[in-house]
Chains A and B, each alone.
Chain A
Amino acid sequence: MTNSKENPTTPKLMVDLKEQMNPSFDVMLIPLQLEDEVAFLLYLKTAVDGDKLQSIIIKPFFEMKSAQHYGAYIQSSPDLLAIKSEDNIPLELTKGSVLIAVQQNFFLIDVKKVNTSTVQQTLMEPTVYGPQQALSEDILTNLNIIRHRYKEPTLKIEILELKDKTHNDIAIIYDEQTVKPAILKTIQKRIKELDTTLIQSAGELQLYLNGKRFTLFPTLMLTERPDRICYNLDAGKVILMIDGSPHALIAPVVFFDFMVSMEDNYHLFWVTSFTLVLRYFGLITCLTLPALYVAITSYNPDIFRTELALTVAGSRIGVPYPSFIEVLFMLVFMELLTEASIRLPKAISATATTVGGLILGTAATEAALTSNIMIIIVSAVAISSFVIPINEMSFSIRFCRYILLAFTTFFGTVGFILGFLGILMFLINKESFGEPYLKMYWKSRRSEKGVKSE
């Protein structure tokens, strides 16, 4: 037995790499040796799947006739990755690949261990009849789900890698037949231009893709529902997915997209229309009711019929501050309640709402700190803001409410209407990747071709 056979020389590349990665405890450089045949493995113990490594890399080595056979076996592995350059190798190792050296050849095999590939239940956008499964935190599982649901050969998936420290994969998914090329190009460009150090979730990615620092309304939609993704793919939109996040991004979106629940596709026409009307009513209520209260009580009490005006006046007897403070005060407490019930563990949040909502509300009216009508308004506003199917939009509307409130407080009823028109105008002037954010969509869009987009 020659020396070399007993102690086969480790390839220099591997030694260097190990050096480079020290002092991490999990860097493993192990030789495989059976008689004359030698192979070396370099991997990170914490990143790879041990079982997989054992079964597809190590075990075959001892079953093969020769290292040559083994090399051929490795080369035909479906998980084989191309080695673009030597600098690239450490990155791939950290992602969960194993570097194999057989007969002076190097191979990278992906044996990453993913603990996050379980598909979750839908939490954010639950439906009664639709699919109950959401996405997982693993991008491959997610892509698998999409492929499984949208079996069109025109479905294209491009993978880009983020330049930040997570080096997460971003998948750009679109249906080649329906997607607008200009929008696709803008999105690809924006992603390539991303210049941030850490992007961990789809929500974060959305903020950076926006292109503006101060934005109030989301120009990309965050969703966890595979059926919504397929629905939007069919409509020609681009889906973005980032590894490690159970949400996908949809771009471009228009305002009305945020008012659609997937449930709408699973119900009868009139039922759907009814819920849709209900939702818009909720939107308007949640946006305008607090401002309307100020306008009615403090500027134009003569608008409502006498009986109602007297009832409102009666309920405000003894409230020691002007109406807008009352509104602001109650709204802020309502927001605190909502915020608290989101952040708290589920078991406690029910208590928080009960204590806050019921006890505080009753006590506040008993103590004449707010009027009864105010409590009704605040609860109506709170309920109706949950009617908006997509949470992001609901947050934006919640914010708009305060703008409208301020406008009304400054300028009275005229401010109320003007503020409302102003918000409309803001939405209309907004764009999501070149698409107007809010406009009327009529059934036949062909007639709109006459209008040139600027």
Chain B
Amino acid sequence: MKHRFKNYKVIVVAAMYFSCVFVLAGCGFKDIDKRVFVTGIGIDPAEKEEGGYKVTLKLSLPVASIKSSTGPNYEYLVYEGETLAEAIRILETHTDKILEFGHTKIIVINEELLQENMKDFMDYFVRRSDIQLIAWVAAAKTSAESILRVEPSAESAVSSTLVNFFGSNGTESPFITSTFLYEFRRDMLSDGVDAVLPLVEATEDKKELIVNKSLVVKEKSKPFELTAEQSKYYNTLLNGMSGFSYKAEKEDLTFVINMEKTTVHYKVIMDDGKPTSIKMNVKMIGVIGQSNKNLALNNLKEYDKIAAEAVKKKITDFLTTVQEKNLDPIGFGLRYRTMMLYDKNTISEWQKAYPDLPFDVSVDVALKGTGAIE
């Protein structure tokens, strides 16, 4: 009589299975409650020693019951060291749990650090493969630590306010510049374009954060601060951000237009192998948001013209301001480089020519209506 299976064999296999599970599990096995998530990294210049860094890590602590917890639960680790790697190594000894950088969503850098040796710490973030390349990079006014430490009262348990500013996660506004880590690295290291970072400020009572300015960063020169208005133009021109609103005035008529869609085309006009001017076409579609007078629908064409004139002036203003500083946040240089076969001298030629290039901006505004009232 053949047995279907011998029971003891099955038991032996099961026993081996369980013992293997217990013995072998261990390499790389670390439970989630033994890890602590670093959600933000802040870098300031060191206070004690020259050339060093002060690193602030923002740790999100898990809460047992999200529904009943009142607010966010954060912990901050701060340490000064000669290099980033060193400081973070030391910080690992400041907590009983393993630091998990996979959830680092934001890297805040003190604006003072954004002129020299940027490659130095950028290298660390990119080389460390567990830090996301889609972390947001932001510049901080006064100090990165203080920005990270702001805990707005509207914040809920498992979300981070600072992160929600960027990438249209929560709020959407053309004033906010969002820059990924890889984007920052790409634009900073490439010739023909300059990186732009959002500038984060805290209110005086350290309760709220304000993000509406930006910083154009270029290696070996002081970062240039774009005002809120300029940031708005930058974001509209580069990313076609919606929500752009603009005030147009003519004689005694004043109205505000809300742009829904913006498309931008630009090219470098060449003559005889040399760049002669930059041509930019902007198309905007929008509605009127506010007005001091009754508006007639049949006059829309006229309003289009008034608005186009005004926007054109502003855009030209913005472009010449950054041009004067020899900065190129839009990337005209890149566009120029795509227009000819590779040559060693292309870049230096462009750099010579750019500061004096005239801008030729044409704006075309198409208003869809006057809103809910005429």
A–B touch (CB < 8 A): the answer is yes
Cβ-defined contact, B17 with A314, below 8 A: no
* B30 contact set on A, CB distance < 8 A: 298-299
Q: Say yes or no: A314-B103 contact (C-beta < 8 A), given A297-B32, A299-B29, A410-B24.
A: no
A195–B37 Cα distance when bound, in Å, is: 63
Binding site for A on B (CB under 8 A): 1-2, 4-5, 17, 20-21, 24-25, 28-33, 35, 37, 39, 60, 62-66, 100, 102-103, 105, 130, 158-160
0/1 interface trace, chain A 36-52, chain B, CB 8 Å (1 if under): 00000000000000000
Interface string of A265-301 (1 = CB under 8 A from B): 0000000000000000000000000000000111111
Shortest distance between the CB of B8 and any CB in chain A (Å): 14
Tally of chain A residues near chain B (CB < 8 A):
35
Distance, CA A307 to CA B35, complexed state (A): 15
Cβ contact within 8 Å between A196 and B64: no
Distance (whole angstroms) from the CB of A151 to the closest CB of chain B:
39
| Majority DSSP secondary structure for residues of B touching A | loop
Considering only CB atoms, which chain A residue lies closest to B24 in the complex? A410
Distance between Cα atoms of A317 and B66 in the complex (Å) = 12
Q: Is the CB of B37 within 8 A of A322?
A: no
Is A384 close to B, CB under 8 A? Answer: no
* A322-B29 in contact (CB<8A): yes
Q: A309-B37, A311-B66, A410-B25 are in contact. List 20 more A-B contacts (CB 8 A).
A: A196-B1, A213-B4, A298-B31, A299-B29, A301-B32, A301-B37, A306-B105, A309-B103, A311-B62, A315-B64, A316-B33, A316-B62, A317-B33, A319-B33, A322-B29, A322-B31, A323-B31, A328-B21, A409-B21, A409-B25
A-B contact pairs, 13 of them (CB 8 A): A196-B1, A297-B32, A306-B39, A306-B160, A309-B32, A309-B37, A311-B158, A313-B62, A314-B62, A322-B29, A406-B17, A406-B21, A410-B24
Q: Which of A197, A214, A319, A324 contacts B21 (CB 8 A)?
A: A324
Q: How far is the CB of B163 from chain A (nearest CB, A)?
A: 8
Given that A306-B103, A306-B158 are contacting pairs, would A406 and B64 also be in contact in the complex, using a CB cutoff of 8 Å? no
| A313 / chain B contacts, CB cutoff of 8 Å | 32-33, 35, 37, 62
Give the contacting residue for B60; candidates A195, A310, A322; CB below 8 A.
A310
Do A314 and B1 touch across chains, with their CB atoms under 8 A apart? Answer: no
A57 contacts the other chain (Cβ, under 8 Å)?
A: no
Q: Contacts A197-B1, A406-B17: A312 and B103 contacting too (C-beta < 8 A)?
A: no
**Chain B residues with CB under 8 A of A410:** 20-21, 24-25
Of the residues A196, A301, A307, A324, contact of B25 by C-beta under 8 Å: A324
Residue from A306, A315, A402 having most chain B Cβ neighbours under 10 A: A306
Residues of chain A within 8 A of B65, CB atoms compared: 314
- Option from B29, B62, B130, B159 in Cβ contact (under 8 Å) with A317: B62
Pick the contact of A412: B2, B29, B63, B102 (CB < 8 A). B29
Docked CA distance A182–B98 (Å): 62
Instruction: Report the separation of the CA atoms of residues A307 and B169 in the bound assembly, to the nearest whole angstrom.
Output: 13
A196 pairs with B158, CB closer than 8 A: no
A302 within 8 A of B: yes
CB distance from B276 to the nearest CB of A (A): 49
Closest A residue to B160 by beta carbon equals: A306
Q: How far is the CA of A109 from the CA of B33 in the complex (A)?
A: 77
**In the complex, which residue of chain B has the Cβ closest to the Cβ of A195?**
B2
- Are B29 and A298 in contact (CB-based, < 8 A)? yes
Q: A196-B2, A314-B62 are in contact. Are A302 and B33 (CB under 8 A)?
A: no
In the complex, what distance in Å separates the CA atom of A207 from the CA atom of B3? Answer: 11
